[in-house]
Amino acid sequence: MELQLTWNLALISAFVVLFTYHFLLGQNATIKLILSIYIAILTADGVARILKEFVFDISPGVQQLVGRYDDEIFTTIRLILFLLGIIFFVVKGAFHIAVDRHDHWLARLTIQMLFSTFSALLFLSTVLIYLSGNSFVEGMVFASDITIYSESIVARILIDYYQFWFSLPAILFLVTSFLFDEEYVV
**Among 101, 93, 104, which residue's Cα sits nearest to residue 34?**
93
Could you tell me the pLDDT band of residue 185, with boundaries at 50, 70 and 90? Answer: very low
pLDDT at 113 > cutoff 90: yes
CA distance 180 to 115: 16
**Greatest CA separation for the chain:** 63
**Per DSSP, which regions of 76-143 are E strands?**
none
Q: How far is CA 15 from CA 22, 117, 118, 123, 155, in A?
A: 10, 8, 10, 9, 12
Could you tell me which residues come within 8 angstroms of residue 138 by beta carbon, excluding any fewer than 6 positions away?
45, 49
Note the pLDDT of residue 135.
80
Query: 119-175, pLDDT tens digit by residue?
Result: 999 999 999 988 888 887 766 555 666 788 888 899 989 888 888 888 999 898 888
Note the pLDDT of residue 144.
61
Number of H helices, E strands in the chain: 8, 0
CA distance 135 to 137: 5
Note the pLDDT of residue 44.
93
Report which of residues 126 and 180 the model is more confident about: 126
Query: 47-70, pLDDT tens digit by residue?
Result: 988 988 888 877 777 777 777 787
β-bridge partners, 139: 135
Average pLDDT of the residues in 32-54: 91
Whether residue 11 contacts residue 105, with contact meaning beta carbons closer than 8 Å, is answered with no
What are the φ and ψ backbone dihedral angles of 30, each rounded to 5 degrees? Answer: -65, -40
pLDDT at 181 > cutoff 90: no
Q: How far is CA 170 from CA 15, 29, 155, 181, in A?
A: 19, 15, 22, 19
Going from N- to C-terminal start, the domains of the chain cover 7-177
